[in-house]
Structure 1
């Protein structure tokens, strides 16, 4: 009888785990949707800017969404980013970035954090579409060919040169301390 109870309990735990994993996956997928990302008032500012970029509208019809650029594909880095992103929801709720003026006042800080993250991970999300090995430098215009070739040779990452590619690049505040820049 004890074996039957143990087996029954194991089956229940297994099924509960499968249900949890399925619901968790659905939740993660839902939070990667652009409608979810831009549902907060402050993120509508980013949406307006993004709609004017090549990442939103392109001749080929290919479109990168918020999660393509900001959410890693691998599970552990994705969970880390999701936990860190909760701060944006927090700041929206407590009113730190709930108006355009407040958002703009914090824009440099927020952008600098994203840039630092992209530099630290070698622009990992950019490279899921823009891989060095997939680039045909011969098909690029002369300036791009020269700059991309040099950047590759120097070990630069995408964000080193393309900070204003999907959102307006904020002006550096005059009172930024050296430690905050690093």
Structure 2
């Protein structure tokens, strides 16, 4: 029994010593050592944090759960955003995670609640997913509406659009609503990467606006003045 008591005393001695060091490090360690140690620990923490952030910001991570892989990812694959003649692909985080660092962190914190959905099987089956689909879609529509379709604009810049290469209908609508700021991308372009939920009672957005129906407007009805005005507002942002 003596060796047990000795072991306990030794362990307790190490614990109390360690506690004294971390509670009053300057009494045991030099300022230079503490500064260097803090810097090294900071670099390790920052590197680990950003590595974890990047890992969770990939399509592979997003589709590692069957809820995403078997539902929305399967719907994305046949679309032009997944496969096209230019070879440019929009992955999950391109559309669903802000690119700015502060906004990205806020979105990651918000998405942490999705872990509970995974644990409790909120959308663990196709049937459950379809039941929640409208609610999930509304969340994304509201988010994109609030940030002026920021994730869309990361690739599609209105200032770079050549309206003469668009259909008459698209050019009219973009010039009249997008450039003026009256509408944003998500107002008209719902369901471009995933199937839509039951849209009963919801304006889909792709219908021609009533005020343009039956009109024989010239292409770019607002003329270059509207374009120049829009460019001026963008340059000041």
TM-score by length of 1: 0.89
Question: Pairwise CA RMSD of aligned residues?
Answer: 1.6
- Alignment partners' CA distance in 1, 2:106 and 2:134: 22
Matches within 5 A, 1:1-182: 5-44=30-69, 45-152=71-178, 153-172=180-199
Cα deviations by residue, 1:105-148 (Å, 9 ceiling, x for unpaired): 00100110011000000011110101110111111122211121
- Alignment partners' CA distance in 1, 2:193 and 2:75: 7
Off by >6 Å, runs of 4+ in structure 1:
none
Q: Which runs of 5+ in 2 are unaligned?
A: 1-25, 202-237
Deviation at 1:154, TM superposition (A): 4.5
- Alignment partners' CA distance in 2, 1:54 and 1:78: 25
Number of corresponding residues: 173
- Flag the structure with more relative contact order, 1 or 2, with Cα contacts below 8 A and sequence separation at least 6: 1
Deviation at 1:17, TM superposition (A): 0.7
Cα deviations by residue, 1:3-51 (Å, 9 ceiling, x for unpaired): x711210111111111111111111111111110011111120100110
Contact 1:53 1:166 in 2 (8 A): yes
- Alignment partners' CA distance in 2, 1:134 and 1:43: 33
Q: Which runs of 5+ in 1 are unaligned?
A: 175-182
TM-score by length of 2: 0.69
- Alignment partners' CA distance in 1, 2:177 and 2:65: 36
